[in-house]
Amino acid sequence: MRRLNMTLIETHENLTQIHKQAVLDFEQKRSSPDFQIQGSDELKAPTEKEVRVVLRNSGVIDPYDIHEYIAKDGYLAIGKALQSMTPEEVIDEVLASGLLGRGGAGFPAGLKWRFARGAQGSPKFMICNADEGDPGAFMNRLLLETDPHAVIEGMLIGAYAVGSSQGYIYCRAEYPQAVKTMIHAIEQAREAGLLGNNILGSNFSFDLEVRMGAGAFVCGEETALMSSVEGRRGEPRPRPPFPAQSGLWRKPTNINNVETYGNVPQIILKGAEWFASMGTENCKGSKTFALAGDLNKPGLIEVPFGITLREIIFDVGGGIKDGKGFKAVQTGGPMGGCLPEKYLDIPVDYKSLTAAGSIMGSGGMIVMDEDTCMVDIARFFMEFTQDESCGKCVPCRVGTRRILEILTSICNGEGRGGDLELLETLCREIIQDSLCGLGQGAPNPVLSTLEHFRDEYEAHIYEKRCPAKTCRALIKFVINEENCTGCTLCAINCPVNAITGERKKVHVIDPDICTRCGICESVCNFNAVDII
């Protein structure tokens, strides 16, 4: 099959001609009986509740082939912007679309661009925040790996609107495939003349560079991210001034995340009205979520705003595994709240989730079944945020450590009266006094579980019992006399010899010796080991 000569696309007319040829080549390649995308047979088909906007090309095109992106209308949006739109008109179009930043704050992207364009100072910088650090979240990673040119084109359009000539994609070093794919895509775009000087024959020049972070979660906060790009320790800065006025190297800077930029080309190409037709009145478009936890069909999804949590969990996610009951869903990553069943019918948008006591975040969503201990869940997320605290401000550095100590003692059966009130006081102080969003959001899992699952905390403290039978210090393994056959398998496998009994007779577990490792339960073939 004939391949395009992509040495240079000098004008908008060149781009149009190459697009037509790329479409023909793409269709010819896909119609070949020998063609198959590796792993395509394993992809889960989207349900009727899902949409494909920012993920439109994922699994469809070869991310290493710029021709295939162009065949899917790639770079036509920047061509349209440069040929027939002023920077102000681009900003107006993005504003009219209702596109909100997908990084978690939900701030209007067009308004952010307007602030950066109006800021005094030169040069101006564009940054793509690809520092995705939420446990179990991989929305940005997949987009970078499967449709890198969409992110580049979105940044090009933003740079034209803002008046920037240099951009940076800040990506985690733990995403080596994403970094490799982005670097290759940037090189292709540069070779084609879509990055560099006088793009498409205009007077607009812009170039991109990938910068890798060392994996610190706090560098997802935009001021800490800029410090890292500058080569300094990734610590948040006080705001104001905001990045639009004084950002990277104290110059005007615009920062959006991967998904935000990925939506921009379609908005410019198809129009603000098309994008605004999806979602709700106050929250337009779609959102990707990394759906994880106790589900039959976990994975990456894209749904329109306004869909309910119930629809996401049971229609898209296939419901709870093993027929168990639903207990809670945590949205927004490690700083999001845990919502019980009564919130399943709220629409998924920024305001509704905030009103319910959680956050949208960047799109993490963890579903928990009836066997989940909510005290242990709060402890898990507090352990994560405490470990990721940069330590710059005392409320976050010391407060999260103290909360973690209390939660750990409760899970270990050492909770005391007054612990819950102390937790609530500490959480409020940390929210009020922390410097950045990490500290301000860290108490959310604790406060939400205290509000909705307080009975579990009280059972841990006052009854020395874990209702979910998860916390090892608060459970006991016993032999069920009716089911035990005396096969001795549990006794043979017990690492501390806590199980005694003769062959073909009921065995006994000594609670003073038992370390609650759970091996006896896992090896028993007769369901004769109970947890109480």
Q: Contact, 469 vs 475, CB < 8 A?
A: yes
Phi, psi of 303 (to 5 degrees): -135, 155
Give the per-residue pLDDT at 427: 96
In terms of DSSP bridges, do strands 286-293 and 253-257 run parallel, antiparallel, or are they unpaired? unpaired
Q: What is the DSSP letter of 248?
A: G
Task: Look up residue 126 and give its two tokens.
Answer: 């564009």
Instruction: Note the pTM of the prediction, 2 decimals.
Output: 0.90
Residue 105: per-residue pLDDT: 83
Q: Please name the residues in contact with 387: beta carbons below 8 A apart, sequence gap of 6 or more.
A: none
Among the listed residues 54, 162, 38, 132, the one whose alpha carbon sits nearest the alpha carbon of residue 99: 54
Q: What separation, in Å, do the N-terminal and C-terminal C-alpha atoms of the chain show?
A: 67
pLDDT reported for residue 4: 44
User: Phi then psi for 479, rounded to 5 degrees?
Assistant: -90, 130
Give dist(CA 54, CA 262) in Å, integer: 6
In the prediction, which pLDDT does 134 show? 82
The pLDDT assigned to 3 comes to: 45
Q: Residue 8: left (phi > 0), alpha (psi -120 to 50), or beta? A: beta
Strand partners, 291: 299, 365
Q: In this structure, what DSSP letter does residue 198 have?
A: S
Hey, which residues does 169 pair with through a beta bridge? 128, 210
The DSSP string of 412-432 is TT---TTHHHHHHHHHHHHHH
Q: Give residue 238's pLDDT.
A: 87
CA distance 274 to 96: 10
**Helices (H) then strands (E): counts for the chain:** 21, 13
3-class secondary-structure state, position 290: strand
Per run of 10 residues, the mean pLDDT along the chain (length 532 residues) is: 59 91 90 72 77 94 95 97 97 98 91 97 96 85 96 99 98 92 97 96 97 86 93 89 95 97 98 96 95 94 97 97 96 93 96 94 93 97 92 92 97 95 96 91 96 97 94 93 95 96 94 93 94 88
